[in-house]
Structure 1
Amino acid sequence: MNFTVMNLLLPLALPPYPFKLTDQNGQLFIFDEIRKKQILLTPEEWVRQHFVQYLIRVKGYPKTLIKLEGGLKLHGMALRTDVVVFNPDGQKILMVECKAPDVIIDQKVFDQIARYNITHQIKLLAVTNGLQHFYCTIDFETRKYQFIQELPHYTF
Structure 2
Amino acid sequence: MVPLNFPEYKFRLKSSENNVRIFDSIRKKFVVLQPEEWVRQHVVNYLLEEKSYPKSLVNVEKQLVINNIKKRYDIVVFNSDGSIHILVECKAPQINIDQTTFDQIARYNLELKADYLMVTNGLDHFYCKMDFTSEKYTFLRDIPDFSR
AA matched with 1:64? S
Structure 1 partner of 2:45: 53
1:149 aligns with 2:141: yes
AA matched with 1:10? V
1:27-38 correspondence runs (5 A): 27-38=19-30
Alpha-carbon distance in 2 for matches of 1:45, 1:72: 19
Q: What SS is found at the alignment partner of 1:151?
A: coil
Structure 2 partner of 1:92: 84
Q: Which of the residues 39, 42, 47 maps onto 2:34?
A: 42
1:4-153 correspondence runs (5 A): 9-153=1-145
What fraction of aligned residue pairs are identical, expressed as a percent?
49
Q: 5+ unaligned residues in a row in structure 1: which ranges?
A: 1-8
Structure having the higher Rg = 1
TM-score (norm 2): 0.98
Q: 5+ unaligned residues in a row in structure 2: which ranges?
A: none
Alpha-carbon distance in 1 for matches of 2:85, 2:145: 12
Alpha-carbon distance in 1 for matches of 2:146, 2:65: 28
Alpha-carbon distance in 2 for matches of 1:135, 1:94: 10
Alpha-carbon distance in 1 for matches of 2:75, 2:56: 13
Displacement after TM superposition at 1:25 (Å): 2.3
Report the count of equivalent residues.
148
